[in-house]
Amino acid sequence: MTDLLDLDLLFVTGKGGVGKTTVAAAIAEVAARSGRSVLVCEMDAKGALATAFEVTELTFEPTEVAPNLHAMSMSTEDSLREYLRLYVKIPLIGRLGVLASTFDFVADAAPGVKEILAVGKLCWEVKERNYDLVVVDAEASGHVVSQIGAPRVIADLVQVGLVREQTQWMLDILEDPERTGVVVTTTPEEMPVIESIELLERLTAETGTHAAAVVANRVLPAMFDRKEQVVARRIADAVPVLVDAVGPGASAVVDAASIIEARRAIGAEHLDRLRAVTGGALAIPIITVPELFSRAHGRRVVTLVADGLDAELG
């Protein structure tokens, strides 16, 4: 983890619903606790990162949500505005609203343009060394390749122009495993693990960016050792004995244990498949965050997941 936090730019991705935003927020928090100055950025403007930090709204202008920790929400329009101010130096500020909305249309149609405005802004913060670490609550695993790979696409499709000239320094940052890494978040479930494996297999080939870690979120800790498992199954087959002794609710207690054990066992199989991929030539660490049985959102969960990450990384 120390290694992870020593990078300059982390893209946190994962299948929808696995806790990607929470993990991004928690990594940012762990880094900030260690004294690093951190920027965490939400890319899709859905407000999940604002919820994670219990603030009403995040804007393009970063807000300090904790000591050393700033949070922002990406806006391609604001990014374009900033870009034009920095590079084009045309006094357009008054008209930019209309221009930007028209540009929005072009960006929608032209591949990679929106993405490069967003990724470009993040790379800019890295290049200027405004923070020790930039953590990105990135696109879900299905789309993150086109997000991170945008500079390559643009470099291929656009032959001339300012954007083309801008891609090289971005690629220098994105393709350096000492500076940029992708954190793939998953839960120990079938589809998230499959998507994670698929992403790990194509990420570097298609974007040039490297995977830095996998975070396995909501992992159930084992209830029993092997010997206890056998006994637990015997008890599950003899529920009436327990019901006689302690009352009708005893069957629910035994059921609950069976459910937790069954879920844990299935999850462990999925994680083994993941380990077979990360453990090979890729050598990517898997960081495990335990199931919290807690509320799914908000500052409390971010703190708990950050504690879990901290403990795991030592």
Partner 1 sequence: MATRSRPKQQVIIDDAPTLDPLLASREMILVAGSGGVGKTTVAAALGLAAVERQHGSVLVLTVDPARRLASALGLEALGNTPHRIPNDVLVDAGIDPRGELHVAMLDTKAGWDELIRRHAPDAATRDAVLANPLYENITSRFVHSHDYLAMEQLHDLHATGEYDLVIVDTPPSRNALTILDAPSRMADFFGSRLLRWLTVPYRSRMFTFASKPFYQVADRILGSRFLQDVADFFVLFQQMEAGFVHRANEVEALLVDPRTAFVVVSTLEAAPAHEARYLAESLRDRKMTVGAIVANRVLPEHLATTAATDAASEIAGRTGADADGALAALVAERTDTDAEVVDRVLHQMATRFDDLAMVAAREADRRAELATLAATTVTVPWLSGDIHDIGGLGLLACHLRGIVDDAESS
Residues 96-155 interacting with partner 1 (rule: CB under 8 A): 99, 102-103, 105-106, 108-111, 113, 140, 142-143, 146, 153
Report if residue 86 touches partner 1, rule: CB under 8 A.
no
Which position among 3, 54, 88, 177 is part of the footprint of partner 1 (CB under 8 A)?
88
Which position among 93, 246, 268, 276 is part of the footprint of partner 1 (CB under 8 A)?
246
In eight-state DSSP terms, residue 94 is: G
Report if residue 283 touches partner 1, rule: CB under 8 A.
no
Report if residue 238 touches partner 1, rule: CB under 8 A.
yes
Please count the other Cβ atoms lying within 10 Å of the Cβ belonging to residue 35.
10
Report if residue 90 touches partner 1, rule: CB under 8 A.
yes
CA-to-CA distance for 29 and 53, rounded, in angstroms? Answer: 10
First and final C-alpha spacing in the chain: 8
CB of 67 to partner 1, least distance (A): 28
CA-to-CA distance for 16 and 113, rounded, in angstroms? Answer: 24
For residues 202 to 231, the per-residue mask of contacts with partner 1, x marking binding by CB under 8 A and - elsewhere, is ---------------------xx--xx-xx
Strand bridging mode 286-290 / 133-137: unpaired
CA-to-CA distance for 111 and 150, rounded, in angstroms? Answer: 8
Q: Which amino acid is at 61?
A: E
CB of 263 to partner 1, least distance (A): 8
Report if residue 248 touches partner 1, rule: CB under 8 A.
yes
* CB-based contacts of 208, cutoff 8 Å, min separation 6: 149, 152, 171, 174, 175
Residue 110 or 171 with smaller CB distance to partner 1: 110
CA-to-CA distance for 80 and 71, rounded, in angstroms? Answer: 19
Residue 257 or 277 with smaller CB distance to partner 1: 257
Contact 226, 261 (CB under 8 A): no
Residue 145 or 174 with smaller CB distance to partner 1: 145
Residue holding tokens 């990135």? 138
Report if residue 266 touches partner 1, rule: CB under 8 A.
yes
CB of 47 to partner 1, least distance (A): 12
Closest by Cα among 80, 125, 82 to 106:
80
* CB-based contacts of 150, cutoff 8 Å, min separation 6: 112, 115, 116, 118, 119
Report if residue 161 touches partner 1, rule: CB under 8 A.
yes
Residue 266 or 313 with smaller CB distance to partner 1: 266
Closest by Cα among 149, 151, 125, 154 to 138:
149
Report if residue 93 touches partner 1, rule: CB under 8 A.
no
Strand bridging mode 210-219 / 180-186: parallel
Residue 162 or 311 with smaller CB distance to partner 1: 162
Which position among 39, 72, 84, 145 is part of the footprint of partner 1 (CB under 8 A)?
84
Contact positions with partner 1 (CB under 8 A) in 2-61: 15-18, 44, 46
Which position among 64, 234, 281, 314 is part of the footprint of partner 1 (CB under 8 A)?
234
Which position among 93, 256, 268, 276 is part of the footprint of partner 1 (CB under 8 A)?
256
